[in-house]
């Protein structure tokens, strides 16, 4: 699913960057909802790049059960942020019994509550996409990505789950900071009742040239997938990164 795929108008899509839109939406939709993918679909990849003892920030958390599932799978320190005070207050109440999870109202374009290098990993399921739907989209996206880079430790990892193909995301990522970018893909979320098998191996990177032109030849045109950009702060080989974190 993409933003705007459920009958949204362009005006509604532009509102995705506004706190008032999300306050109203979460006041009306109180049940848990996960954009794009659920935790268990992504866990093999997350486990490849993030260790349970790492401090993780989930931006644009909404009312997702994603972080709860992370904690249930052994993650020890998960901080969740969202621009909506309505959803943050609701989630603080809901998860007050789980000390491994924290919820903070915050604009991802200005995360001055966190000092530089505070997190080992940042997970983004649709937040950058939401900002890119709004007014001054590129300017705000650059601000967001700059803050993500700032709050990450050196060699920290930003995992971006998005509908944006490399032709629409890669230059933005590379223009916004010093990232080593690896691309993974995952089939769009199957329904709970579906028994279909997944076409793509989540943990195997897709060859990624400078402009992303190599991707189409591998994936074909208009593939039914979500793109996952694993962005490591600094210029390193993926093998070096995994050895550094003792993940292989």
| Average pLDDT score over the chain | 87
Q: Are 66 and 36 in contact (CB under 8 A)?
A: no
Q: Are 203 and 248 in contact (CB under 8 A)?
A: no
Residue entry with tokens 């933003």? 3
State the pLDDT at residue 11: 56
**How many residues are present in the chain?**
248
| pLDDT tens column, 118-163 | 999 999 999 999 999 888 899 999 999 999 999 999 999 999 999 9
Helices and strands, counts by H and E, the chain:
10, 7
Q: Say if residue 6's pLDDT is above 70.
A: no
| pLDDT tens column, 171-193 | 999 888 899 999 999 998 654 44
pTM: 0.88
Mean pLDDT score, 70-89? 97
Q: Say if residue 73's pLDDT is above 60.
A: yes
Q: What are phi and psi of 103, to 5 degrees?
A: -125, 130
Mean pLDDT score, 28-53? 93
State the pLDDT at residue 2: 40
CA distances from 128 to 25, 88, 161 (A): 18, 19, 9
Q: How confident is the model at residue 20 (pLDDT cuts 50, 70, 90)?
A: confident
> Cα separation of 3 and 11, whole Å?
12
Q: Which pair of structure tokens corresponds to residue 121? A: 């990993």
State the pLDDT at residue 199: 79
Helix boundaries (H) for the chain: 10-14, 19-28, 39-49, 66-72, 85-94, 127-132, 137-151, 166-176, 214-219, 238-244
| pLDDT tens column, 93-107 | 999 999 999 999 999
């Amino acid at each position: 699913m993409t933003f705007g795929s459920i009958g949204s108008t362009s005006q509604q899509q532009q509102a995705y960057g506004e706190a008032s839109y999300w306050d109203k939406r979460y006041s009306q939709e109180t049940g848990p909802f996960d954009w794009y993918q659920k935790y268990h679909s992504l866990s093999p990849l997350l486990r490849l790049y993030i260790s349970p003892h790492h401090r993780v920030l989930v931006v644009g958390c909404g009312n997702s059960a994603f972080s709860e599932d992370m904690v249930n799978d052994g993650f020890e320190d998960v901080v969740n942020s969202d621009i909506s005070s309505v959803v943050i207050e609701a989630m603080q109440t809901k998860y007050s019994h789980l000390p491994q999870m924290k919820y903070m109202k915050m604009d991802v374009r200005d995360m001055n509550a966190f000092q530089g290098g505070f997190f080992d990993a940042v997970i983004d399921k649709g937040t950058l996409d939401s900002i890119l739907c709004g007014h001054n989209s590129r300017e705000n996206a650059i601000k967001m990505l700059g803050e993500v880079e700032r709050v990450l430790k050196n060699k920290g990892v930003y995992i971006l789950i998005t509908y944006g193909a490399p032709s629409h995301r890669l230059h933005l990522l590379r223009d916004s900071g010093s990232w080593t970018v690896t691309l993974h893909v995952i089939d769009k979320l199957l329904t709970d009742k579906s028994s279909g098998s997944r076409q793509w191996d989540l943990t195997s990177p897709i060859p990624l040239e400078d402009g992303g032109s190599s991707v189409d030849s591998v994936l074909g045109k208009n593939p039914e997938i979500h793109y996952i950009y694993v962005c490591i702060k600094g210029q390193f080989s993926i093998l070096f990164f995994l050895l550094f974190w003792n993940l292989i």
